[in-house]
Amino acid sequence: MRILLMGNPNVGKSVVFNRLTGVDVICSNYPGTTVEFTKGSMRIKGKHTEVIDVPGTYTLEPTSKAEEVATKMIREGDIVINVVDATNLERSLNLTLQLLKRKVPMLVALNLWDETKHTGISIDVEKLEEILGVPCVPTCAITGEGIKQLVEEISEAKVSTYEYEESERWQEIGNIIAKVEKITYRHHTFLERLGDASVAPATGIPIALIILYATFKIIRFIGEGLVGYVFEPLFEKLWAPLMLKLSGLMGSQGWLHNILIGKLVDGEIDFVESLGLLTTGLFVPIAMVLPYVFAFYLVLSFLEDSGYLPRLAVLVDTLMHRVGLHGLAIIPMMLGLGCNVPAALSTRIMETRRERFISATLMAIAVPCMAQIAMIVGLVGKYGARGLATIFGTLFIVWVVLGVLFNRFLKGESPEIFVEIPPYRIPYLKGLLKKVWIRVKWFIKEAVPWVLVGVFIINVLYTFHIIEFIGKFTAPVITKVLGLPLEAVGALIIGFLRKDVAVGMLAPLGLTLKQLIIASVVLTMYFPCVATFTTMAKELGFVDMLKSAGIMVISAIIAGGLLNLIL
């Protein structure tokens, strides 16, 4: 049996999904699209049952790719659990009535039931059941209230006999609300006052700055703690001795030794400089990058589940319109700070092809992923805020300038923002951790293989002196325009495979602060990693991807050249 969870965005559908399913859940793309859905399993009366968290939709008359997928998936389910927001029943019933028309076995979960008490809303559940003709169960997924009853009622799901004229749907909804819902006056809560303050510019901008500052402080605290107290000791005390023994067995030299172990530094394993598959190839993604990625996704998931991100989207909407986008484009930009691949995928939330091109290109050029940020901080952080501020300040200026140019010269319009703003909520811890685990598992599966490929290729290029040839060919640009030594060519080449590895390769070159700044900016801008590149090709199409790539190379050379002149 297959159960579909369907509902509007921000009604707690994913929290219900986490309550129903176990740990082993799978994120998949719907065939032929890049729209993701989550799949898990549960047991009902001893039988295995598949549960699918369908992309959120407001209607079965689709206006976006995600809503198209949600509409198509109805045919693939045996039972539909329609998760509705009990505090906003009128809006939710629009989808509910459309689902009833599809004549699928169904039941309704009246989620956020606890909030109805705080907002002065009273719903007659028995009367609503009688009208709709399907079971209705009050739930609070965050606390687990009503989930057991919901599971028990699944076997009672049925096809409704409720009929209405499609042209009079909203009139029907109004009639239902009049019969089942009563609202009484109450005072605003603290969270509601905070929610209002978060979107008003006078108070929202200081709140946003405080939250963003706290976000990066928390990420750095967690990331540095995991690196310094967990991962580095594990590699230094456990993995390094094993690698030294393996090195001794291999004779401490030879091309195979260089590929697997890398070159020894003063007879010891240097996990950053050795450039071996089993040393640098594993140390960089696991010990240097994974801690920061984990910390970023932990904080991002908290911001998502608490309801802050939609408010941030509304707050930055005016700025985003200056660069040809609307406020929701802040989501790909923030996701890009974790990993550019999901950021590229998330550009599908933009309505037009023009917006998708602008958001994907700006993200790929000027938003470094957390892996790269960690490496940049490691390289330049010792020089203090001066170096880091120059790098990230330059990237922000590039983001603004390119965005203004795109908005000026790319034909098309930027639609207004239409986004549901949920009330502030305390995130469900188990669901939040499950979301973080899914994202971290995805990073390990995607990142580690590419780092290994990158380290292998760079070793081969060095072994056969190909990098020397490319260095001589590109010398005028690298040395004269950018002011970098020829040895930096290797990092620029490997940057197409993994940016974090490329930045790490700058460490043994003995670059000055000026050169480190230029190299870090150029590496960020000139190309995304190959995983992001292929994702952009799928999202934008091959022609637009090539246009985006051309803009990246030109803007990187211009920015690097200007930095070389100014600094």
Domains of the chain: 2-186 (3.40.50.300), 199-566 (no CATH)
Strands 2-6 and 79-85: parallel
Segments of the chain with pLDDT less than 50: none
Q: What is the pLDDT at residue 419?
A: 64
Q: How far apart are CA 434 and CA 438, in angstroms?
A: 6
DSSP assignment of 113-141, as one string? HHHHHHTTEEE-HHHHHHHHSS-EEE-BT
Helix (H) / strand (E) containing 44: strand 36-44
Residue 138 bridge partners (DSSP): 110
Indicate the burial class of 35 (C-beta count within 10 angstroms; 0-12, 13-18, 19 or more): buried
| 280 and 455 Cβ atoms separated by less than 8 Å | yes
Spatial neighbors of 91 by CB under 8 A, at least 6 apart, are 8, 58, 85
Confidence (pTM): 0.66
| 420: nearest Cα among 5, 96, 12, 6 | 12
Residues, the chain: 567
For residues 358 and 324, the answer to whether their CB atoms sit within 8 Å is yes
pLDDT of the residue at 133: 94
| 526 touches 496 (CB < 8 A) | no
What is the b/e burial string over 340-368, where b = at least 16 CB atoms within 10 angstroms of the residue's CB? Answer: bbbbbbbbbbbbeebbbbbbbbbbbbbbb
Question: Which amino acid makes up residue 566?
Answer: I
Q: Pairing relation of β-strands 36-44 and 47-53?
A: antiparallel
b (16+ CB within 10 A) / e for 381-420: eeeeeebbebbbebbeebbeebbeebbeeeeeebeebebe
pLDDT given for residue 80 in this prediction: 95
> Is residue 168 classed exposed, middle or buried when 0-12, 13-18 and 19+ CB atoms within 10 A define those classes?
exposed
Q: What is the pLDDT of residue 100?
A: 93
With tokens 């970023």, the residue in question is 296
- Distance CA(8)–CA(11), nearest Å, equals 6
Q: Which helix (H) or strand (E) holds 223?
A: helix 201-226
Question: What one-letter code names the amino acid at 565?
Answer: L
Burial 509-533 (b: 16+ CB within 10 A, else e): eebebbbbbbbbbbbbbbbbbebbb
Burial category of 565 from C-beta neighbours within 10 Å (exposed 0-12, middle 13-18, buried 19 and up): exposed
User: Does residue 516 contact residue 490 with C-beta atoms inside 8 Å?
Assistant: no
In terms of Cβ atoms closer than 10 Å to its own Cβ (0-12, 13-18, 19+), residue 145 is middle
Per-residue pLDDT tens over the stretch 99-108: 999 999 999 9
Quote the CA–CA distance of 134 and 281 in Å, as a whole number. Answer: 56
Cα–Cα distance, 110 to 87 (Å, whole number) = 9
Return the number of other C-beta atoms located less than 10 Å from residue 423's C-beta. 19
